Structure 1
Amino acid sequence: MHPAIVFLLGLGVGSLIAALAARVLVRRLFAKTRAAERRARAAERLAEIGGMTGGLAHEIKNPLSTIGLNAQLLGEAIEELPQDRAVDAETRHRLTRRLESLRREAERLRGILADFLAYAGEMRLDMAPADVNTAIEELADFISPQADRLGVRLRTETAAGARASVDVPLLKQALLNLLLNALQAFPAAALGGPRELIVRTTRGIDPDKKPIVRVHVIDTGPGIAPEIVERIFTPYFTTKSGGSGLGLATTRRIVEAHAGRVEVHTQMGKGTEFVVTLPACD
């Protein structure tokens, strides 16, 4: 056989072997990268839960203090009850108020612990291909009465074919948290400005050339201060009286469990936009 042909055959075989070896190495590298990412996420998750303990202790402290005080006052009031006559209506009413306060704070404490356990526990997804637009329209129908009461114009703008593999109830929970957060910002907004809440779906391609679906939650509220934006996804951080501080943190966790991400863009005096990005499906 001619030496040139032998050389070319050898070059071809060598190139094929090199390509196969490179493919195996790339797969191994990809597997190692994915494993490292899983370990990093697990470590981040443990650190986050550890950091939540301080917030949980703070949240529990207030209702426990109220329960302790009311239990003490209730005990003192019972000791002072007359033994030789019936309890008068005023005293009965005062004792009933103490008992109601105990019940209310105990229920609040139960809610705090339930929220913590739900957030810290394992999230199990029941994934299935779904029309994201349908979930958006159902949420809009649900929340529109509240928007109407606040004088906020709610509208949806959906892109055809916005489908993703999701756990629909969990996705709705994540998006509902964003909608409620947006509505709660409006009472502080300037009365003369526009009061709109827009939920929009778009389709696109990510940097890896893979199809994605985006859900935009846009409000024309007062915007979010830069120092607050940095912390809004932190568990137990809230600027609202009576807020749990877990709404946006839960949204982020749900979205990331779907291999997605959530971003926030805001401008003081103009409004805020949350963008949820999810892998698309056929």
Structure 2
Amino acid sequence: MIFKRFFIGLLWRIVLIIILSTALAYCLVQIYLANTDAIYWLIAVLLFGVIFYRGVNLFYYTNATNRKLTRFFDSIQYDDFSIKFSSDNTFGKSFQGLNKQFNKVLEAFRKIRAENEASLHLVNTIIQNVQTGLLLYDQYGRIELSNSAACKLLGFYRLKNITELKANHLELADKLMVTEEKHFLYQGLNGIQLSVNIVAIRLGGQIKNLVSLQNIQSEMQQKEVEAWQNLTRVLRHEIMNSLTPILSLIGTMKHIVDTELPATANDNGAKGDLQEALQTLETRGIGMINFVDGYRSFTSIPAPSFAEVNMEPLILQIMNLLQPEMVVANIFLTVENKAVDQLIQADAEQLSMVLINLVKNAKEALEHTVNGTIDIKSFAQNQFLFIEITDNGPGIEPEALEDIFIPFFTTKENGSGIGLSLSRQIVQQHGGTIKVFSKPGKGSRFVVQLKIKVVPNTTANAYV
């Protein structure tokens, strides 16, 4: 190109306009002197048009930088960083330097936006995958952020406003909207225990509330079991310490009565009565020791020996073991396994003990039920394995339902109240939970929840 410099391009445009203006002036003078000559009129009109065109061209040429600045700021305003400034690099080093700086600034904005998007994606991924439920809402109750854990804990698919919680969690909704408490405990309708923490933050000049929901049910159950274990351990220790010397004294007294206290004709059977009383005391004392010693299993359960366990054959084995008892009791036992080939890390012996205990409890509950049935169902959902044991018995009264896992609590005449407590303790040591659902006259359903062992997908990783 001939014009490689901005000032050269500007110079020839100005010179051309001056030459054209001079020619136009000459034509106008000739028209003034000889106004009948039409050729000068035509030339003057053409020159005026060319001068106007060249003037407009000069205006746009000299305002190229302003247009460039406008495009630059528009790209920043509308987050359009795909623009490249290079079309006027031929105008000289000053234009090349300006374009280079514009492109550097836009590239910096591109990197910042990419980093912000990556950070936002990371934060959103963390928020959606943490086990703590999170809710962010404004003063009108509009929920601006909620993660999957919060929806799962509260039993909703999606939340748009705090008022939607009133359908299932009226007390919680009221507290979130009007309470001044920053931390409180909440128990849902399904028995779940939540620790609720509220933090007020200022965003964009507005006050918003960030709520964290932590499921502390398993922790509370663990603390409850530990408390009962400590109490049982202390009671057992004190009772054993008291009964042992008493039994020793009873044995000494029996020896004295048997060997050193002669029977006389006029004792009216007093020696025999004394021997019988001492024998009764000894028998009851030994029975009490055996009874108290039987609770040792609750306070000293061995740690699980974890291994890979497939629950399908384990459940079938339990069914085959208990089937003869069910036939004798005229109870129909069924198994529905929808968790085929699902592996868990567990102690097979301890889990068998839990499931056998639950099935036997259901069997005892069906003692006076006609056409009794027990259904064992297993299925997998959200990386968890669920085992349900359901019966069609008389159900459990609401007041007893709250205490059913408390040690020593029982509704049976000859029950010890240890079976369900021991079962819950075993399940907790496996990192799971056990729940009961029952209504009087509608049977009972025990649900054991355990984590599924995640097997790495080596085939998928090979293509990454």
Same-fold status (TM-score > 0.5):
yes
> Which of the residues 346, 367, 372 maps onto 1:195?
372
Matched residue, 1:12 = 114
Matched residue, 1:88 = none
> Which of the residues 439, 442, 446 maps onto 1:267?
439
Work out whether 1:237 is the aligned partner of 2:414: no
What is the rounded CA distance, in whole Å, between the counterparts of 2:218 and 2:276 in structure 1?
Answer: 53
What is the rounded CA distance, in whole Å, between the counterparts of 1:144 and 1:100 in structure 2?
Answer: 41
CA separation of 1:25/1:197 partners in 2, compared to 1, >3 Å: closer, same or farther?
closer
Percentage identity across paired residues of the two chains:
22
What is the rounded CA distance, in whole Å, between the counterparts of 1:29 and 1:186 in structure 2?
Answer: 39
- Report the alpha carbon displacement of residue 114 of structure 1 after superposing the two structures with TM: 4.1
1:69-103, CA deviations, whole angstroms, 9 ceiling, x for partnerless residues? x948956863656499xxxxxx7xx9699759846
Matched residue, 1:247 = 419
What is the rounded CA distance, in whole Å, between the counterparts of 1:7 and 1:232 in structure 2?
Answer: 62
Per the alignment, in what secondary structure is the counterpart of residue 180 of structure 1? helix
Contact kept? 1:162, 1:201, Cα under 8 Å: no
Greater CA deviation, 148-157 or 103-112? 103-112
- Please give the residue correspondences for 1:71-150 in structure 2 after superposition, counting only pairs within 5 Å: 71=250, 74=254, 78=258, 82=263, 102=282, 106=286, 109-115=289-295, 117-121=296-300, 123-150=302-329
CA separation of 1:95/1:251 partners in 2, compared to 1, >3 Å: closer, same or farther?
same
Larger of the two Rg values belongs to structure? 2
- Report the alpha carbon displacement of residue 143 of structure 1 after superposing the two structures with TM: 2.1
What is the rounded CA distance, in whole Å, between the counterparts of 1:29 and 1:143 in structure 2?
Answer: 38
What is the rounded CA distance, in whole Å, between the counterparts of 2:336 and 2:114 in structure 1?
Answer: 55
CA separation of 1:101/1:258 partners in 2, compared to 1, >3 Å: closer, same or farther?
same
Amino acid at match of 1:185: A
CA separation of 1:74/1:225 partners in 2, compared to 1, >3 Å: closer, same or farther?
farther
> Which of the residues 126, 151, 161 maps onto 2:330?
151
CA separation of 1:158/1:50 partners in 2, compared to 1, >3 Å: closer, same or farther?
same
Amino acid at match of 2:335: T
What is the rounded CA distance, in whole Å, between the counterparts of 2:421 and 2:393 in structure 1?
Answer: 21
CA separation of 1:46/1:148 partners in 2, compared to 1, >3 Å: closer, same or farther?
same
Task: Tell which has more relative contact order, 1 or 2 (C-alpha 8 A, sep 6+).
Answer: 1
**Any unmatched runs of 5+ in structure 1?**
85-90, 206-210
Amino acid at match of 1:182: A
What is the rounded CA distance, in whole Å, between the counterparts of 1:230 and 1:249 in structure 2?
Answer: 13
What is the rounded CA distance, in whole Å, between the counterparts of 2:326 and 2:281 in structure 1?
Answer: 32
What is the rounded CA distance, in whole Å, between the counterparts of 1:97 and 1:80 in structure 2?
Answer: 15
Work out whether 1:164 is the aligned partner of 2:336: no
What is the rounded CA distance, in whole Å, between the counterparts of 1:110 and 1:119 in structure 2?
Answer: 14
> Which of the residues 398, 422, 429 maps onto 1:226?
398
- Report the alpha carbon displacement of residue 256 of structure 1 after superposing the two structures with TM: 1.4
CA separation of 1:203/1:100 partners in 2, compared to 1, >3 Å: closer, same or farther?
farther
**Number of aligned residue pairs:** 257
Amino acid at match of 2:423: T
CA separation of 1:274/1:24 partners in 2, compared to 1, >3 Å: closer, same or farther?
closer
What is the rounded CA distance, in whole Å, between the counterparts of 2:275 and 2:328 in structure 1?
Answer: 37
Query: Alignment RMSD, CA only?
Result: 4.3
CA separation of 1:17/1:278 partners in 2, compared to 1, >3 Å: closer, same or farther?
closer
Amino acid at match of 1:154: L
Contact kept? 1:164, 1:280, Cα under 8 Å: yes
Matched residue, 2:428 = 256
Per the alignment, in what secondary structure is the counterpart of residue 243 of structure 1? coil
What is the rounded CA distance, in whole Å, between the counterparts of 1:16 and 1:267 in structure 2?
Answer: 50
Matched residue, 1:178 = 358
TM-score (norm 2): 0.46
* Runs of 4+ with deviation above 6 angstroms: 17-30, 36-42, 94-98
